[in-house]
């Protein structure tokens, strides 16, 4: 299939024949390749005639078929998260067709499909691409991490501006994203991660925008559940320097496609893996510079820092050969934790909870590393 269709240059997903034929805008294909080829059913629309009802049923059946093609292709790569591919339907309708989401990550993604459609309606892709084109140059996220690691001799810090999470609830009541970002920067964070998911993490794109406008100099990661190119252009247009791409959610094709967009926009992609299969998939993709190993499963919430060690024992050589920098993510609380993942081979760490929960998140950095970090 790949050979037939050529390299995955800004074109339809090879997942479905319908998408391969269709000259549709690529954004729709990215979210649901086959589903994009027909108008989406709106079951709540007017149903005044028998014909209209029959038509609805047909469209609905088509949507289900499309979702099946997308999900079968994803499953063949070991991806357990399904898409409903019906971004204009209500969640109730989605669940009637698909059953309940199997885990929290799937739930987040199902909501995200609907959210993205709403975002697109508010800010059409064409306009967002235009404003991304006018945004000031990005800052070098990868370079900032590499330089900080060299300077401090401990993993570079990506400090996360995180109010809440589905696994831990609210982490900080009086939450001022700009104040926290400034404190992190002052105390030696190399880069910042700003959670933008609203429903599950109480973050927002607005927070990212505010931090950028506050003249914080650290490069910023837009911590979002990216499933559509619109989110990437939007992140760039409001000042992100990097975006997260989660391998547990995205097929190889999606990853390649989104990496191309990042490249075009000067964004760094942090490609997140959690298990062996995801790591193997990601290492086969060209152009990956930064891999994050999440110690927390987004499906079960189980945190295990030995995950970083296990994956690097097996793949560390291949990673070093490619010049990829590894970020140890989640569940790091003290200098021992940091030393553990550093010995496993990471050059950077991504930390939220243990900093943001403390009275002074900036000062908490010295506690996490056992020393002050230099700028």
Active site residues: 160, 162, 223, 272, 294, 329-330
Q: In whole angstroms, how close is the CB of 284 to ligand IGP at the nearest point?
A: 22
235 is a site residue for ligand IGP (CB under 6 A): no
Q: Which residues contact 278 (CB under 8 A, 6 or more apart)?
A: 78, 247, 248
331 is a site residue for ligand IGP (CB under 6 A): yes
Q: Which is nearer to ligand IGP, 44 or 306 (CB)?
A: 306
Q: In whole angstroms, how close is the CB of 187 to ligand IGP at the nearest point?
A: 16
Backbone angles phi, psi at 268, to 5 degrees: -90, 140
Q: Which is nearer to ligand IGP, 67 or 208 (CB)?
A: 208
What is the CA angle 150-155-159, rounded to 5?
120
- Contact criterion met (CB below 8 Å) for 169 and 346: no
* Integer Cα distance of 234 and 129 in angstroms: 8
Answer for which of 288, 341, 351, 368 binds ligand IGP (CB under 6 A) is 351
Q: Which is nearer to ligand IGP, 190 or 332 (CB)?
A: 332
Answer for which of 81, 148, 350, 373 binds ligand IGP (CB under 6 A) is 350
353 is a site residue for ligand IGP (CB under 6 A): yes
Q: In whole angstroms, how close is the CB of 329 to ligand IGP at the nearest point?
A: 4
Q: Which is nearer to ligand IGP, 15 or 105 (CB)?
A: 105
252 is a site residue for ligand IGP (CB under 6 A): no
160 is a site residue for ligand IGP (CB under 6 A): yes
- Contact criterion met (CB below 8 Å) for 189 and 220: no
Residues 52-111 contacting ligand IGP, CB under 6 A: none
330 is a site residue for ligand IGP (CB under 6 A): yes
294 is a site residue for ligand IGP (CB under 6 A): yes
* Integer Cα distance of 262 and 257 in angstroms: 9
* Integer Cα distance of 96 and 89 in angstroms: 11
272 is a site residue for ligand IGP (CB under 6 A): yes
CB atoms within 10 A of CB 104: 16
Q: Which is nearer to ligand IGP, 66 or 115 (CB)?
A: 115
Answer for which of 14, 177, 345, 352 binds ligand IGP (CB under 6 A) is 352
Name residue, tokens 């499963």: 297
Q: Which residues contact 294 (CB under 8 A, 6 or more apart)?
A: 272, 273, 274, 307, 329, 330
DSSP state of 296: B
Count of residues touching ligand IGP (by CB under 6 A): 14
| Helix (H) or strand (E) segment spanning residue 281 | helix 276-283
CB atoms within 10 A of CB 374: 9
180 is a site residue for ligand IGP (CB under 6 A): no
DSSP state of 237: H
278 is a site residue for ligand IGP (CB under 6 A): no
- The upper half-sphere exposure of residue 25, i.e. CA atoms within 13 Å in the direction of its Cβ, equals 10
Q: Which is nearer to ligand IGP, 43 or 357 (CB)?
A: 357
Q: In whole angstroms, how close is the CB of 262 to ligand IGP at the nearest point?
A: 17
What is the CA angle 124-125-129, rounded to 5?
125
- Binding stretches for ligand IGP (CB under 6 A): 160, 162, 223, 272, 294, 329-332, 350-354
């Amino acid at each position: 299939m790949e050979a037939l269709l050529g390299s995955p240059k800004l074109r339809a997903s090879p997942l479905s024949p319908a998408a391969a034929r269709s000259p549709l805008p690529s954004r729709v294909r990215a979210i649901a390749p086959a589903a994009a080829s027909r108008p989406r059913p709106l079951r709540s629309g007017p149903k005044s005639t028998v014909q209209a009802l029959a038509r609805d049923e047909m469209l609905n059946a088509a949507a289900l078929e499309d979702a099946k093609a997308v999900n079968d292709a994803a499953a063949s790569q070991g991806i357990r998260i399904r898409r409903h591919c019906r971004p204009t339907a209500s969640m109730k309708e989605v669940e009637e067709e698909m059953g309940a989401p199997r885990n929290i990550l799937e739930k987040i993604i199902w909501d995200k499909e609907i959210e993205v459609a709403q975002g697109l309606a508010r800010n059409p892709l064409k306009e967002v691409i235009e404003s991304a084109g006018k945004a000031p140059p990005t800052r070098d996220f990868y370079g900032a991490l590499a330089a900080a690691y060299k300077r401090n001799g401990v993993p570079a810090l990506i400090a996360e501006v995180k109010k809440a999470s589905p696994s831990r609830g609210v982490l900080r009541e009086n939450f001022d994203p700009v104040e926290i970002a400034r404190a992190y920067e002052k105390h030696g964070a190399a880069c910042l991660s700003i959670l933008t998911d609203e429903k599950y993490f109480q973050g927002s794109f607005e927070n990212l925008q505010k931090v950028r406008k506050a003249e914080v100099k650290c490069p910023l990661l837009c911590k979002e559940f990216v499933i559509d190119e619109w989110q990437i252009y939007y992140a760039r247009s409001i000042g992100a320097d990097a975006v997260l791409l989660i391998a547990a959610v995205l097929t190889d094709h999606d990853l390649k496609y989104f990496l191309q967009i990042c490249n075009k926009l000067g964004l760094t992609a942090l490609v997140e893996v959690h298990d062996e299969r995801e790591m193997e998939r990601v290492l086969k993709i060209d152009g990956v510079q930064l891999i994050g190993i999440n110690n927390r499963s987004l499906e079960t919430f189980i945190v295990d820092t030995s995950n970083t060690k296990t994956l690097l024992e097996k793949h560390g050589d291949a990673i070093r050969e490619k010049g990829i920098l590894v970020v140890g993510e989640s569940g790091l609380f003290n200098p021992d934790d940091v030393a553990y993942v550093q010995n496993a081979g990471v050059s950077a760490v991504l930390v939220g909870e243990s900093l943001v929960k403390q009275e002074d998140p900036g000062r908490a950095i010295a506690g996490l590393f056992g020393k002050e970090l230099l700028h």
